[in-house]
Amino acid sequence: MTRKQRRLTMIGGALVVLAIAAGLVLNALRDSIVFFSTPQMVAEKQIPVGKRFRLGGMVEQGSLVRGDNLAVSFKVSDGGATLPVNYKGILPDLFREGQGVVAEGAMDASGVFKADTVLAKHDENYMPKEVADALKKQGRWQEGEGGKPVMLQGAAKPVVTPAKQSVLQ
């Protein structure tokens, strides 16, 4: 074997090893690449009990129930599906109903998401892109004054935002 053939064999072998390593890494990360799942994605995927993932969506109005010893339960919705969440701990200061939230935890056997971490939106304009896209697709989203989101309560009901109200007057 000549020197050139050995060099090409070494380069080819290194490329094969690199391709196999990349394939193994991508296969291992296949389910973890998405930052979070929406309630509708959870229903479609049928995520097994005990498997950890992140759940993102909007905290449903009127669903927040505070219990004893910092226990909290609420419902997360993406407009298409709703998932009950139980959490024990101190909620972020910005957490409230009608706002975006990302919770990390696992499903239990009764179909409730048991969260061990809850993250609230970081400012008044934040909403995960996937949740905003799902709400827009269902007609439950509209841009308000200054580009701020306005959640529509019913898809068929028009909402008059401050920007539209000034036009109507």
d(CA 85, CA 75): 6
Buried/exposed 75-95: b ≥16 CB within 10 Å, e otherwise: bbbbbbbbbebbbeeebeeeb
Instruction: Give the closest residue to 77 by CA, choosing from 55, 45, 109.
Output: 55
Binding site annotation covers 87? no
pLDDT confidence of residue 108:
92
Q: Which residues pair with 107 in a beta bridge?
A: 113
pLDDT confidence of residue 141:
65
Q: What is the pLDDT along the chain (169 residues), one digit of tens a residue?
A: 899 999 999 999 999 999 999 999 988 887 666 578 889 888 888 888 888 888 999 999 999 999 999 999 999 998 888 999 999 999 988 888 888 899 999 999 998 999 999 988 665 555 667 777 777 777 766 655 444 444 444 443 334 344 433 343 4
pLDDT confidence of residue 87:
95
CATH class of 35-120: mainly beta
pLDDT confidence of residue 137:
78
Binding site annotation covers 122? yes
d(CA 100, CA 81): 15
The DSSP 8-state label assigned to residue 122 in this structure reads S
Domain positions in the chain: 1-29, 35-120
d(CA 43, CA 90): 28
